[in-house]
Structure 1
C-alpha cells in the first residue's frame, strides 16, 4: 500500500557542508549505536536483522560475494553484519566474506578502529562516488561478486542521483541491498522521538566511553546532537522511498535491467512501530 505522505526531498542538517565535522562524527556514531543496540524493547538489533535478511536472500551463493558499503558513515551495521554472516558461513564450513567501507566523506578514524578489530573489513581512504565507483573497487581480483550495501543512506539521494547510482550498480556490480530504519508513516515519528530521548539520556555514558566531552556539552548543555538526530530523522522519513518507488528508479535508470528482480520486506526491530525496511535486487539466474 502506498503511503499517504508523498515523498519530499527536504534537506538534512548532517548533509550540509557547513555542519561541523566533529559534530557530524558524533551523529554518525549515534546512528551506528542505533544500528547495534539491544534493549528490552529491542530483542534483536537492526544490524542482526539485516544480516539475517542477507543470509536468507543470498542462500547458497552467500560466500561468493564481497560486501561494499557505500555511504558507510562511522561503519553503521557493517561490522555486525560481517560477524553474523561469517559466523553462519564458518558453521557450514564455507569460505567467509570480506567487507569494504566507502563514503564520499571517509570517516577514517572510525574505520581504522574497525579494521584493527576485524581485518576482514577494509576501507577506501579516498572519497568514493557511488554513481561512479572506481573499477578497482568493484572488479574484484579474487573473482568474487560485488554486493552493494546502502545502509540508511539511499534516501539521501535525489531521484537523478539515485538513478545514476543504480545505473552504475547494474553495470558494474552483481546485486544491491537497501536497508532503512524508517518509512513515510506518522507512526514512525514515535521511533524518531525515542532516538532523540535516548541521545539525551545516554549522553553522559557515551561522553565517557568515547572520551568526548563535546558529546556531553552538545547533548545536555547545548542540545545540538539530539536536535539534529530528531530533525534529520523526521526528514529521513519524508525522503524514504517505497520498494515500488525504488523499482521505478531502477527500471528508468538507463541500464538494461530486464533480468533484474527485486524482493522487499520489513521486520520490527523496536516496539511499538520501529521497522527495518529492506530491498534486495539481483539478476535472475
Structure 2
C-alpha cells in the first residue's frame, strides 16, 4: 500500500469511552509483547544510542506502553548497559505505567503530567521514541514532532508495528478477534471492566479491529517519511528510514534520526 488514508480511529475521539480505550491499548500492549513485534528494530535503536551516547529514552505517545518493556530488556541485553525509559503521553495511562514501573523495578519511569510530543519540555531529556503512534497524527503534526526533536538536538526513533502490506489487513480481520478473546483473562493489571467490554458488550474487540484497519491505512510509508525529513532542513542529522522484517512475515516501519 503506497497510499495513505486518514480515516478516524475510535480511540482518538473525545466521546469514546475511556475505559474501552484503555482496554484496547492493554490488548495491544500484550499482543505486541507476546509476538515480539519490535525486536527487529532493537539493533537500529541500539546503534543510535551508541552514536549519541545515551542510555535514557523518552517514549512519547506511550499509550499503554505497548512493547516498551520488551524493547528495554533487549536493549540492556544487547548493549550490556543499564537503560532507563520515561513513558509520556498527552493523556497518560497512569495505571499501566505504574504496572510497568513495578515490573521493571523502576527502570521504566513515567511522567504523570501530560506531555505534548510536538513541544516536549526542555527538562524531559533523552533519546526520543514513538511506538505505534506516529500514524495518529496528520502530516503537519507528525513533521512537528520530528522538528521539535531537531530543535532540541535530540535523537528520535519512530516505529510502527506493521509494514503497511495488504495481508496485514487479513490478520487484523480474522486473527485479532480470536486472539483478544483468548488472552483477555490473562492481561494484567486485571480489571472487571475489560472482561465486560470484551465478552458481554464486545466493544474492545470490535474497536480494536476497526482501529487496527484504520491504522494500517494511516501508516506513513518510507517515501512519506523521507518527504518529512527533507522538509526539516536538518543537514546535521543522520536519518535511517525503511522496513525491518518480522518473523511473522509482517514488517516494522522505522525512522531513526540523530545529530551527526
Partner of 2:28: 31
**Kindly tell me: are residues 100 and 205 of structure 1, through their superposed partners in 2, closer, same or farther at Cα, counting changes over 3 Å?**
closer
**Kindly tell me: are residues 260 and 111 of structure 1, through their superposed partners in 2, closer, same or farther at Cα, counting changes over 3 Å?**
same
Given that 2:38 and 2:252 are in contact with CA atoms closer than 8 Å, whether structure 1 keeps it comes out as no
Matched ranges for 1:129-144 at <5 A: 129-138=116-125
TM-score between the two structures when normalised by the length of structure 2: 0.90
Given that 1:101 and 1:124 are in contact with CA atoms closer than 8 Å, whether structure 2 keeps it comes out as yes
Tell me how far 1:182 sits from its aligned partner: 2.2
Partner of 1:262: 239
Instruction: Please list every run of 5 or more consecutive structure 1 residues that lacks an aligned counterpart in the other structure.
Output: 39-44, 139-145
Matched, 1:50 2:47: no
CA RMSD of aligned residues (A): 2.0
TM-score between the two structures when normalised by the length of structure 1: 0.83
**Kindly tell me: are residues 210 and 99 of structure 1, through their superposed partners in 2, closer, same or farther at Cα, counting changes over 3 Å?**
closer
Partner of 1:282: 258
Given that 1:183 and 1:238 are in contact with CA atoms closer than 8 Å, whether structure 2 keeps it comes out as no
Instruction: Please list every run of 5 or more consecutive structure 2 residues that lacks an aligned counterpart in the other structure.
Output: none
**Kindly tell me: are residues 189 and 82 of structure 1, through their superposed partners in 2, closer, same or farther at Cα, counting changes over 3 Å?**
same
**Kindly tell me: are residues 63 and 166 of structure 1, through their superposed partners in 2, closer, same or farther at Cα, counting changes over 3 Å?**
closer
Cα deviation, 1:105-131, whole Å, max 9, x if unaligned, reads: 001111112222321221111100011
Paired residues in the alignment total 258
Matched, 1:20 2:17: yes
Tell me the SS of whatever aligns to 1:64: coil
Partner of 1:231: 210
CA distance in 2, matches of 1:14, 1:152: 13
Cα deviation, 1:127-146, whole Å, max 9, x if unaligned, reads: 000111111112xxxxxxx3
Tell me the SS of whatever aligns to 1:266: strand
**Kindly tell me: are residues 53 and 191 of structure 1, through their superposed partners in 2, closer, same or farther at Cα, counting changes over 3 Å?**
farther
Tell me how far 1:60 sits from its aligned partner: 4.0
Tell me how far 1:264 sits from its aligned partner: 2.7
CA distance in 1, matches of 2:53, 2:258: 15
Partner of 1:211: 190
Given that 1:147 and 1:173 are in contact with CA atoms closer than 8 Å, whether structure 2 keeps it comes out as no
